[in-house]
Amino acid sequence: MRQLQSLLVFLAAILTFARASSDYHEQLVLRPLQPSLLLASFNFQSNTTWASFEQQNFRYFPRSLGQILQHANTRELHLRFSLGQWDAENWGARPWKGAREGGTGVELWAWVEAETDEEADGRWLTLTNALSGLFCASLNFIDSTRTTRPVLSFQPSGYHTNSTASKLHLLHGTLPREVVCTENLTPFLKLLPCKGKAGISSLLDGHKLFDASWQSMSLDVTPICRSGSEDCQLQITQTTDMVLDIQRSKRPRDNPIPRPIPSEELKCDTSKPYNSFDTCYPLDISAQEEEWSLSQIFGHTMKGSCPLAENESYPVCINVPHARDIYTSGAREHKDESGYMRCFELTPQEDFEMILPPQDLSERAPLEQPLLYAERSFIGYGQERGGVQAILTNPSPTDAVDFVYMESLPWFMKLYLHTLKAKINGNSEDVIQEMYYRPALDRKRGTQLEVRILIPANSTVVLTYDFEKAILRYTEYPPDANRGFDIAPAVITIGNVSIRTTSLLLPLPTPDFSMPYNVIILTSTIMALAFGSIFNLLVRRFVAADEAEKWDVRALRLIIKGAISRFARRFMKKTTKKD
């Protein structure tokens, strides 16, 4: 990881100092992880001068994005699409130290230039809606309830002149529910100069990317200026990081089902006394280096280098000990002196393939320890209240860690600030240095909580707080109401390193949605009954029993008799007249 970082610094140095005009760089760094995983970090970076950006003279910088930024007066933009969970215990520190990573779903933050807060909100709305269209993501759902204005957590990474800096507004929004998928990758690739046709971007395939155990796509636009000069550039950096399961990726696409392997191919522990043709204690093969090749992992070989990345000398690097055997075609190998990194100079117009055979290797590239382990979960149960517990561990035996923990919670999760407690190694001690709290307004904005905490070396801080679950209106529930509501990951900022916890699923009291139907039926019945009886009482005439008209068979008989006699009399009259 350290090698990777040093390489990046070198790269950045080239970018900022060597050439002032437009240029484009791309690089892929591969790093095998335990057990049988592969981290692939793709980095694409291009610069444009501020002057040509202002004149809408785009070369490497994508026009579609540039126009959106100009329209929304956005000076700095960070967009993240992430999926999965980074396993810091086994995989070490995050790629790019977490700087190019977002929480699960979509995360967006930007510095928007505006005179007033209202104007900034309007421009933010423009920005989210435009980006929503560009990236086929539901970014337009980042409304006021999901937008926060972080105070302690985010710092601009680019250079802003004093005059613009005073007018900049930082806005931050997350969509933890958004499922990142192929429709987000395609527009992402389209922003690249080589558009996924050549160079390392040709390896990016939706099937493989979204089968990864963890993946993150990022897009950053930052202004870069040489100190004290007006010679400014706008830098766009796109990265894609993914942790691929080697065994899973090696499965052919037409037969992806992990059927049991034939028993002859099973690797058994033959030292067991019971080992036989039908009994097998599987051998622990994690000690052995997995066999893989670039085309197995990504589905096809790399289609040469991108011709636009003219001065990129090493487009592909791999972080393995020098003792690891690697066979390549269409490239020249360069080992660096640290012993764990080697890079490949590609032959243009030729497919690049890399094969790593199985190998017993005692040595491994060292893992960089993360600065902080963070884990967040719900505590308690029931429909009314709950609690959140964040366990933050400083693994360093010597250094204390000072960080900002930021939560942006939806309004229906009503935080009780007085229950916010930080326990260090089980004791209540004052570790909270500073706090910024902006309470929620129902249906208008969410809770924003930023806490600066200092963890001494080798300690664990447990941060807990309680909350109450609000009852939503009938129409405010999503169609899958019983799934629960996603709570955005907490953002932990340690200097320029950022860590995100996992998102949470909050179950809210959910009505039975067939209830309105039942209520309608019940009320209709009651209305009918009440109306019926009252109407009856109002209209009906009450009389004594003897006053009532008799309607019995005798009366009917009398009527019939009368009718017959009348008829008979008339008939009689006729006959008498005749007579």
Residues interacting with other proteins, by CB under 8 A?
Answer: 35-36, 83-85, 87, 89, 104, 210-213, 245, 247-248, 257-263, 265-266, 268-269, 272, 274-275, 278-282, 284, 286, 375, 377-381, 387, 389, 480-484, 486, 502-505, 507, 510, 537
- Nearest distance from C-beta of residue 324 to other proteins, angstroms: 21
Minimal distance in Å, beta carbon 167 to other proteins? Answer: 37
The residue among 359 and 510 lying less far from other proteins, judged by its C-beta, is: 510
We find the least distance from the C-beta atom of residue 507 to other proteins, in angstroms, to be 7
CB contact burial 454-464 (16+ within 10 A = b; e otherwise): bbeeebebbbe
Cα(320)–Cα(545) distance, rounded to whole angstroms? 107
When the beta carbons of 34 and 349 are compared against other proteins, the nearer one is: 34
Specify which residues 112 forms β-bridges with. Answer: 74, 169
CB of 396: closest distance to other proteins in angstroms? 20
Nearest distance from residue 259's CB to other proteins, in Å?
Answer: 5
Nearer to other proteins, 62 or 386 (CB): 386
Distance of alpha carbon 251 from the chain centroid = 27
Q: Where are the beta strands (DSSP E) in 277-400?
A: 288-289, 292-293, 316-318, 327-329, 331-335, 342-346, 353-356, 359-360, 373-379, 385-393
Closest to other proteins by CB, 284 or 363: 284
Query: CB–CB of 173/110 below 8 Å?
Result: no
Largest Cα–Cα distance of the chain, in whole Å?
Answer: 148
Q: Which two tokens stand for residue 491?
A: 């953002």
Closer residue to other proteins (CB): 212 or 431:
212
Write the DSSP string, 238-259: EEEEEEEEHHHHHS-TT----P
Q: Are 112 and 123 in contact (CB under 8 A)?
A: yes
55/475 with CB nearer other proteins: 475
Nearest residue (CB) to other proteins, 155 versus 533: 533
Q: Which is nearer to other proteins, 35 or 122 (CB)?
A: 35
CB-nearer residue toward other proteins: 284 or 434: 284
What letter does residue 180 receive in the DSSP assignment?
P
Pick between residue 378 and residue 437 the one whose CB is nearest to other proteins. 378
Least separation in angstroms between residue 390's CB and other proteins is 12
Q: Where in 34-94 does DSSP place strands (E)?
A: 37-49, 74-84
Least Å distance between CB 233 and other proteins? 36
Locus of tokens 């009718």: 563
Give the residue carrying structure tokens 């005749």. Answer: 578
Query: Residue 43's closest CA among 259, 274, 309, 276?
Result: 309
* Residues counted in the chain: 579
Helix (H, G, I), strand (E, B) or coil at 331: strand
Instruction: Tell me the closest approach of the beta carbon of residue 559 to other proteins, in angstroms.
Output: 32
User: Chain-centre distance of CA 224, in angstroms?
Assistant: 28
**Number of other CB atoms surrounding residue 341 within 10 Å:** 24
Nearer to other proteins, 147 or 503 (CB): 503
Segments of 439-566 assigned E as strands: 447-455, 460-469, 485-487, 491-494, 497-500, 504-506
Distance of closest approach, residue 206 Cβ to other proteins, in angstroms: 13
Minimum distance from residue 490 beta carbon to other proteins (Å): 13
Q: Is the dihedral of CA 420, 423, 428, 432 positive or negative?
A: negative
CB of 432 to other proteins, least distance (A): 21
Judge contact between 113 and 167, C-beta under 8 A. Answer: yes
